[in-house]
Structure 1
Amino acid sequence: MSMIVSRANLSLGLLALCLACPSVLAQPAAAPPAAAAPSAAQGAATVTTSDGVALAYTAAGQGIPCLFVHGGPGSGSEVVQRLAGEVLEKRFRMVYLDQRGSGRSASDPHKDYSLERVVQDMEELRASLKIDKWVLMPHSFGGIIATAYARKHPDRVAGMVLMNGILHLPASMESTVTHGYALLPADARPPLDPAAPLPQRFGMVMGLLGQARLTGRLMYADPATEARVGAAMRGLAANRDFASTLFASGAIAGYAHDMAPATAGLAMPVLVISGKEDHVSGAEHYRSFRFPRQQVVLVPGRHFSMIEQPAEVGRALDGFAASLRALAL
């Protein structure tokens, strides 16, 4: 899919995507924190990058090292650790990193939130932890970041697990517009001009869903899951500088390219887990992936498969982890 949009329109669309992410949605509209070390009260370790930004991370579990690459953009990793950690940590030694300007991590005073810089942060963390190879486990928007890392450092990636992954942001936005619009009550559904720029349509639909308190229906199959996520979010750190900077700078352009064609050149084993009704990523989005050694597992539910379907996701991870161990022998 090709899409030509202005930088301002793309910013609008990304803002709506960020607001669709529950760990950003529930945070108060406060100014981003200054570039300071994360609070020790959050229980996180820190690593300082080569350009002086303190990144927060936690590690837990057993097995092959695995980096969780959160989405959002800028959502942080704590909600997933709280609600899905038991499932993930039984299969992998999980490293939950909050990307610069996100969650518990510090902001970059120079506002460098480019895809290249975020990829470099991941590589510097790997080197700091003295991990030879690790598995990447991106969720949602994190799929773009993890795929960029795998392209740059394929020798450091033992495998990938894409959870509801997005590899082409415009395609996922189109899916969200279509299905989000259908969720709106007929009397709250203004005409939607199909010829309007995609980010404009996206921003309108996400705004209307938010006003009608229907965003959760787009994200989760079960209202109880939305309630669990809301409860888990209480008291979490809320650095939003990554997200807000993307909306105001040209850095967003680096995240909008279609990454799917490049997956044909990535030879590591890949497990793709997708929700059958995940219309945020796109229920058919995984069909564009071209990893030569990929396995696809479809599970019931929507955009948070590891939280909504822990048993099915756990079984898929068991098989994938076993295959990685066999390759290492």
Structure 2
Amino acid sequence: MRKALPFIIAFLLVVLESRAQNEGWAICNSGANLYFKIVGSGNPVLVVSDVGNSSSYLKELVQKLSETNRVVFYDPRATGKSRFPYISDSTVNFNKAVADIEALRMVLRIPKWSVMAHGFGAKIACAYASQAGSHLGQLILVNPVSMTTLPNSSDVYFDTHEDYGFSGMLSQEVINRRFEKLQQHLQTISPDSVARAKAIMGFQAATYVHDTLHEPIAAGFLYEKIQNIDVKSRVSSKFVPNPFDCVTSIRQRGIPVMVVLSRQRFNLSGLVNYWKKALPAASIAVIDRAHHFPWLDNPAVFYAKVNTFLQSFIPETNVIVAQKKVSRPVRRGYQRRKRY
């Protein structure tokens, strides 16, 4: 037993070192302590979540992608496990969100990766793509939200409606019945309670999914946005660049782009035409029977299209080596300002 002890210790150290390299907290710019995790093997793909959301709602997407790719995902600053000491306009904003992506790449020492971004995360990813140079291999935008404040513009490349309407998802009879049930339920709940907020988000969840089985995931996604409203409002409004400059830069750099749009998006035909005009070489994938989360509603079609696109990526040699700097998480007690 004593002879075997050194080998057991060595094995445990290897296991712990391997875990440390694939999960931890990376110290990025301005002291951001970003929680990250790396799963799977193959070409590196970073997944960027929607604004105000951690990576938790993306777990099915990450798990499936990791079957054929080395997936990196993280909680943006001041969300999920990425605790942050102080939330203000100077510490949490659009520029910081973009800079954190490159800082994370440098910490993980990944020479070149692909980036997949969802919702408002697509806006962040586009800004990153315009600055990333040779470090970005491919860009996948999944149901990107509006990047313009001009809803009547003829050059709206992003959907101007962040939320979705009930009329395209449910019949009026079903809407009325669900609303009446909600009102009855709200009468039994305290006006300022967490349960009330969750009940309302549960009602709205139907507008985000095609398959009603996924309403709980959508409800959790929406509730987290409420919790992180300070983060969402700042990232979506502070220092947001001209979106068309980012799109123009992506086109000039010749970055391979795939835009994934769900069939039930508002003004789908217009969105398709706008993206074809903005990026003529981009691959446009329209997913039938799908809404805001196409990887949940129609996974077979979604992954078939996305994986085909990702397989065209030519990786750098020695893609991932030991991280540059990994830290312990910021403790909850250091969260000076409460997020609602």
Q: Structure 1 residue 154 and structure 2 residue 133: aligned?
A: yes
> Which whole-Å CA distance do the structure 2 matches of 1:61 and 1:213 have between them?
33
What per-residue deviation string (whole Å, max 9, x for no partner) do you get for residues 124-159 of structure 1?
Answer: 110111101110100011000000000111321100
Q: Structure 1 residue 306 and structure 2 residue 295: aligned?
A: yes
The match for 1:34 is none
The match for 1:13 is none
Q: Structure 1 residue 277 and structure 2 residue 255: aligned?
A: no
With over 3 angstroms needed to count, the CA separation of the structure-2 counterparts of 1:284 and 1:303, relative to structure 1, is: farther
With over 3 angstroms needed to count, the CA separation of the structure-2 counterparts of 1:68 and 1:250, relative to structure 1, is: closer
Q: 1:295 aligns with which of 273, 283, 305?
A: 283
Q: 2:53 aligns with which of 75, 92, 105?
A: 75
**Higher Rg:** 2
2:271 partner amino acid: H
Q: Secondary structure at the match of 1:59?
A: strand
**Aligned partners of 1:47 and 1:54 also within 8 Å:** yes
- 1:285 shift after superposition: 2.8
Q: 2:215 aligns with which of 195, 203, 226?
A: 226
> Which whole-Å CA distance do the structure 1 matches of 2:269 and 2:203 have between them?
19
- 1:219 shift after superposition: 0.3
The match for 2:322 is none
> Which whole-Å CA distance do the structure 2 matches of 1:253 and 1:114 have between them?
5
The match for 1:101 is 78
With over 3 angstroms needed to count, the CA separation of the structure-2 counterparts of 1:134 and 1:286, relative to structure 1, is: farther
Q: Structure 1 residue 129 and structure 2 residue 87: aligned?
A: no
1:45 partner amino acid: G
> Which whole-Å CA distance do the structure 2 matches of 1:322 and 1:242 have between them?
35
> Which whole-Å CA distance do the structure 2 matches of 1:149 and 1:220 have between them?
28
The 5 Å alignment of 1:1-329 reads: 44-71=23-50, 73-81=51-59, 83-109=60-86, 111=88, 112-168=91-147, 170=149, 171=151, 174-175=160-161, 179-180=165-166, 185=172, 211=200, 214-227=203-216, 243-247=229-233, 252-255=237-240, 257-259=242-244, 261-262=247-248, 263-279=250-266, 284-289=270-275, 290-300=278-288, 301-325=290-314
With over 3 angstroms needed to count, the CA separation of the structure-2 counterparts of 1:239 and 1:104, relative to structure 1, is: farther
> Which whole-Å CA distance do the structure 2 matches of 1:93 and 1:250 have between them?
27
Count of aligned residue pairs for this structure pair? 260
Q: Secondary structure at the match of 2:38?
A: strand
What per-residue deviation string (whole Å, max 9, x for no partner) do you get for residues 256-300 of structure 1?
Answer: 843475343341111111110034x96743432323531111112
Structure 1 residue runs without a partner (length 5+) = 1-39, 189-209
**Aligned partners of 2:257 and 2:283 also within 8 Å:** yes
With over 3 angstroms needed to count, the CA separation of the structure-2 counterparts of 1:242 and 1:147, relative to structure 1, is: farther
**Aligned partners of 1:275 and 1:283 also within 8 Å:** no
- 1:316 shift after superposition: 1.0
- 1:226 shift after superposition: 1.4
1:157 partner amino acid: L
2:126 partner amino acid: T
**Aligned partners of 2:92 and 2:235 also within 8 Å:** no
With over 3 angstroms needed to count, the CA separation of the structure-2 counterparts of 1:287 and 1:44, relative to structure 1, is: farther
The percent identity for this pair of structures is 19
> Which whole-Å CA distance do the structure 1 matches of 2:201 and 2:107 have between them?
46
TM value normalised by structure 1? 0.67
Name the Cα RMSD after superposition: 3.7
1:288 partner amino acid: Y
What per-residue deviation string (whole Å, max 9, x for no partner) do you get for residues 183-226 of structure 1?
Answer: 695997xxxxxxxxxxxxxxxxxxxxx85954222100111111
1:270 partner amino acid: V
With over 3 angstroms needed to count, the CA separation of the structure-2 counterparts of 1:156 and 1:267, relative to structure 1, is: same
**Aligned partners of 2:119 and 2:143 also within 8 Å:** yes
What per-residue deviation string (whole Å, max 9, x for no partner) do you get for residues 78-106 of structure 1?
Answer: 2212x222321123211111110112111
